[in-house]
A and B are shown apart, each in its own frame.
Chain A
Amino acid sequence: MTMAGMIAATATVIMMNSCLKSDDIYTPPTTYEKTDSLKVNFSSNSSFTFFSFKNGSVIANSDSATAKWDFGLRFTTFILNSYAYGPGNAGAILQNGIYSNLNTAPSTGYAYDTTTAQKAIKDGSWYDYNPVSHAFSPKAGKNILLSHSR
């Protein structure tokens, strides 16, 4: 089995609209009405997909060492553009609650990817895994609040 074949067969689209909300702690709050879908690699050995809220788009992998992106996603792993993963200052809060009730991002309380083993959004914290059906499904009521990288 070639890994390339597997990746191609399993590239997946993740609906992010219900679990992501962005806000910026350095500029006045901006309202984002837009919801986006991202295509990310379904393998823990392939490259991350990087996203920028300011641009509202995916950032090329060649820019991975810059502060242009806010978060990256690969399979079920979230990384932030801070410390271990980038020169930026992106932070995140994994907030329990109802999405529609979350209207203002807090100004403090953000966690950062201080080391590769100490990530702001821990793997396994936002989804359930069924080892029999091998399905990963996002938990309801887990909201990820992100701050910009710059």
Chain B
Amino acid sequence: MKASLKIILSFSILIGFSAITKSLTAQNNVRDTGFNKLKTIEEVIVTTTRTEKSIGDIPVPIQVISKKFIQQTGSQKLIDILQQQTGLVLADNPLGQSLQGYPNPFGSGIQMQGLDPAYTLILMDGEPLTGRNAGILNLGRIAVGNIQQIEIIKGPATSLYGSDALAGVINIITEKPKTNVTAIQINQASNNTWGFTANQSIKKNKTAVQLFANRYSSSGYDLDESVFGKTADPYRNYSVAARIFHDFTARTQLQSSARLFTQKQFNNYLVYTGSQPAEVDGSSIETDWGFNNQLFHQFSKKIKLISRLYVTGYQNKAEVFLQSNKQLFDKSYMQQFLLKPELQVEIGEKINQKLIAGIGYNYETIEANRYPDKMNFKAFYVFSQKEWLLYNKLNITLGGRLDKHSLYNLQFNPKLALGYKIKPNFSIFGSIGTGFKAPDFRQQFLFFTNSLVGYTLLGANELATGLTQLQQQGQIDQSVNLAPYLGENTLSPETSIGINIGARYNFHNQTGFTINLFHNDINNLIDRYNLPFTKTNGQAIFSYVNINNVFTQGFDVNINHTINKNFTVNAGYQYLDAKDKAVIEKIKNAELVKRDPVTYNSSYVTRSEYGGLFNRSKHTANGQIFYTNKEKGWGANIRANYRGRFGFSDINGNNILDDDREYVKGYTLINAAISKTFKKGFELQVGAENILNHRDKDRLPNLPGITYLINCNINVQQLFSKQPKSL
């Protein structure tokens, strides 16, 4: 919605040609760290094998965020919880950037192993969420009040999950129904933020039901009074979810779930279309829903069949009106639908010896105001994974997946992972796998002409039609030969190879240590290019092409230590190096020039000046101290996150990061929370986030200053049950 505003803001930036660069549409590596649950032998995860498995046996880097951790932070926002993990960094969409106190219009997401948010697949209960805006999924859509655990797998997971899982997978597992529990939470926080959450679990005979409802609202905040409108606009959202588990027989079980999210954001800003700015207001409405049905049937001890049917839809609609005459000024919409039936079979008795195989189909439609028609796509896939356990020590996992999509060539993505248990408390592991990311809708189908300036952006699939149309309309000179562009202009998927090597060590069940080295090579990255001729108005025509190759590499380490029954500490660190191979080559050949924005002197860029891809911090670190005293009912924690300096935008005319002035300085966020259980079933929690009050209105508009929160947690059954009096 702020796009039109940004157009105008950017004009003022243009004056004087201060050089603003796009950040490269590229990836970095992020590492994941072992995190606060290293003694996790009891912890069961599902993402790596699509079947339940204990974490100690998994030969790939994995992090698990427990419900307990989420509760201890007191946070209501998934993105805040994720960015407290080693190697998960909050990153702006590389397509856009924050301008003059307004956040990036394309939003921000989680960068993993240095790869942009669009390269991490986000699943809910194993199924993908749709509705990405230029590759970024609004994580604000996901309420945290019914999350059981979050599983984060680093490294390519395409061999199981298909497109987008190049950096890895974040799988959000919602709560399973338990014995009758009624839980209520009331949250209040700075900026007039209110959250109301209710969870109800009912179990009767062979049926269990879990119900969840949440209302969350905030008045937003304003980091820059001199700019009209708020930095973050007010919004209000509702989430409801239900899960039903039913055992038909001892061998047959149904798991069904449904979710609905709807959010209304209230927009109010200035537009500059005439000689005077005009005020517009309106709203953006986002709706997301899904049905997830799974039927499990155990044919024999060795054979289990799972049939899944997943249906999901997403809608985004925005309208703003001129305040002066209430006329519609601008509107946009996007609507997406996905139907995904799948059949999976598991063969084998022992957990580390299983073979899984699956077959599935995707039917997807999308409709948006910048695309010419409603479009639909069909994709078909098969996958398989087999595990072997040799000498009780060596775990071998080999898997692969074939994807046939109606828009691009057949994709085959294999993955091999090896784990070796040197001692029961010491294991090493390594994996290599490939991944791919389908071109996004914008890169394929966009047909957009800027009405103010007059340039045209054409998606690759629209190129032939669009150019012909422009020439017929006289917008391209008749003398221009379009023939080379009239064939099929299809984009190939972006592809990657990822390697991870790591170790886990557990000392006296008290101290856990993990390390993981990673390297990702991403090829065929899609970028925008200029056509070699212009429109008759002198303006350029842009389209998309597979062109760039980048790599991300580095390592992460995690240590957790239990000091005594009251205190635990965690610490994590990631080192990251992410660069564009073409840039390195150009520097070597003395083809890359920079021009000082002050002196206007130009010179060649040297290798040591090249800072890699924008938006990546070489160093990130985190540390946490947790205190719990069960007897007295106290809990407290303090959590720190450091993000080292990272490239923000080009200022010297070469679109790469090679000048100290192009960086945002490193910063630390400190959060703390204290909780006290006053009575069984009644807990109060207070907390503060960003205690150092770090703010940067221009470059970190997503970060409000210090905020406070208070939570009231009630477990109705515990609170009202008759408790035995202590003697």
A138 shortest CB reach to chain B, Å = 6
Q: Which of B11, B477, B603 contacts A117 (CB 8 A)?
A: B477
Contacts of A139 in B (CB 8 A): 653-655
B524 shortest CB reach to chain A, Å = 21
Interface contact A116-B477, CB-CB below 8 Å: yes
A115 at the interface (CB under 8 A from B): yes
Binary flags per residue of A89-117, CB closer than 8 Å to B gives 1, else 0? 00000001111100000000000000111
How far apart sit A100 and B603, CA to CA, in the bound complex (Å)? 8
B540 at the interface (CB under 8 A from A): yes
A61 at the interface (CB under 8 A from B): no
How far apart sit A140 and B17, CA to CA, in the bound complex (Å)? 12
How far apart sit A2 and B17, CA to CA, in the bound complex (Å)? 24
Within 8 A of A (CB), among B217-275: 272-275
A35 shortest CB reach to chain B, Å = 8
B124 at the interface (CB under 8 A from A): no
Q: Which of B7, B15, B539 contacts A123 (CB 8 A)?
A: B539
Interface contact B95-A122, CB-CB below 8 Å: no
Interface contact B21-A9, CB-CB below 8 Å: no
B52 shortest CB reach to chain A, Å = 43
Interface contact A44-B604, CB-CB below 8 Å: no
How far apart sit A135 and B19, CA to CA, in the bound complex (Å)? 8
Interface contact A138-B538, CB-CB below 8 Å: no
B16 at the interface (CB under 8 A from A): yes
Q: Which of A24-32, A49-57, A62-70, A73-81 contacts B (4 or more CB under 8 A)?
A: A73-81
Interface contact B14-A117, CB-CB below 8 Å: no
Contacts of A14 in B (CB 8 A): 17
A60 at the interface (CB under 8 A from B): no
Within 8 A of A (CB), among B1-51: 6-7, 10-11, 13-22
Q: Which of B376-384, B412-420, B427-435, B450-458 contacts A (4 or more CB under 8 A)?
A: B450-458
Interface contact B653-A138, CB-CB below 8 Å: yes
Majority secondary structure of chain B interface residues (helix, strand, loop or mixed): loop
B250 shortest CB reach to chain A, Å = 56
Contacts of B7 in A (CB 8 A): 134
Interface contact A123-B542, CB-CB below 8 Å: no
- Chain A interface: which size bin? 35 or more
Contacts of A116 in B (CB 8 A): 477, 536
Interface contact B538-A123, CB-CB below 8 Å: yes
Contact A100-B602, Cβ < 8 Å, known A44-B454, A129-B540, A133-B96? yes
How far apart sit A138 and B13, CA to CA, in the bound complex (Å)? 13
Interface contact B273-A15, CB-CB below 8 Å: no
Interface contact A96-B591, CB-CB below 8 Å: yes
Contacts of A122 in B (CB 8 A): 532-534
Contacts of A13 in B (CB 8 A): 15-16
Contacts of B20 in A (CB 8 A): 130, 133, 135, 137
How far apart sit A80 and B554, CA to CA, in the bound complex (Å)? 51
Contact A129-B542, Cβ < 8 Å, known A1-B274, A14-B17, A134-B10? yes
A47 at the interface (CB under 8 A from B): no
Chain B residue nearest to A1 in the complex (CB): B273
Interface contact A133-B16, CB-CB below 8 Å: no
Contacts of A43 in B (CB 8 A): 453
Contacts of A134 in B (CB 8 A): 6-7, 10-11, 14, 450, 453
Interface contact A133-B653, CB-CB below 8 Å: no
Interface contact A117-B17, CB-CB below 8 Å: no
Contacts of B455 in A (CB 8 A): 129, 131
Contact A18-B21, Cβ < 8 Å, known A133-B97, A134-B11, A135-B13? no
How far apart sit A99 and B593, CA to CA, in the bound complex (Å)? 10
Chain B residue nearest to A37 in the complex (CB): B16
Interface centre among A6, A74, A125, A140, by most chain B C-beta atoms within 10 angstroms, is A140
Q: Which of B273, B534, B595 contacts A6 (CB 8 A)?
A: B273
Contact A133-B600, Cβ < 8 Å, known A45-B537, A75-B538? no
How far apart sit A124 and B456, CA to CA, in the bound complex (Å)? 12
Contacts of B533 in A (CB 8 A): 117, 122
How far apart sit A118 and B477, CA to CA, in the bound complex (Å)? 10
Contacts of A100 in B (CB 8 A): 601-602
How far apart sit A8 and B540, CA to CA, in the bound complex (Å)? 23
Within 8 A of B (CB), among A131-150: 131-141
Interface contact B10-A133, CB-CB below 8 Å: yes
Within 8 A of A (CB), among B93-114: 95-97, 99, 105-106
Interface contact A98-B604, CB-CB below 8 Å: yes
Interface contact B538-A5, CB-CB below 8 Å: no
A71 at the interface (CB under 8 A from B): no
A102 shortest CB reach to chain B, Å = 10
Chain B residue nearest to A45 in the complex (CB): B537
Interface contact A6-B452, CB-CB below 8 Å: yes
Contacts of B17 in A (CB 8 A): 12, 14-15, 136-138
A128 at the interface (CB under 8 A from B): yes
How far apart sit A6 and B278, CA to CA, in the bound complex (Å)? 13
Binary flags per residue of B345-381, CB closer than 8 Å to A gives 1, else 0? 0000000000000000000000000000000000000
Chain A residue nearest to B19 in the complex (CB): A137
B592 at the interface (CB under 8 A from A): yes
Chain A residue nearest to B542 in the complex (CB): A131
How far apart sit A143 and B536, CA to CA, in the bound complex (Å)? 25
Contact A115-B22, Cβ < 8 Å, known A123-B539, A124-B534? no
Binary flags per residue of B137-175, CB closer than 8 Å to A gives 1, else 0? 000000000000000000000000000000000000000
- Return 13 A-B CB contacts under 8 Å, by A number: A1-B274, A6-B274, A8-B275, A10-B11, A10-B14, A96-B591, A100-B602, A129-B455, A132-B97, A133-B20, A134-B14, A135-B14, A138-B653
Chain A residues with CB under 8 Å of chain B are: 1-2, 5-6, 8-10, 12-15, 17-18, 42-45, 74-77, 96-100, 115-118, 122-125, 128-141
Q: Shortest 4 CB-CB distances between A and B: which pairs?
A: A141-B593, A140-B653, A1-B273, A5-B275
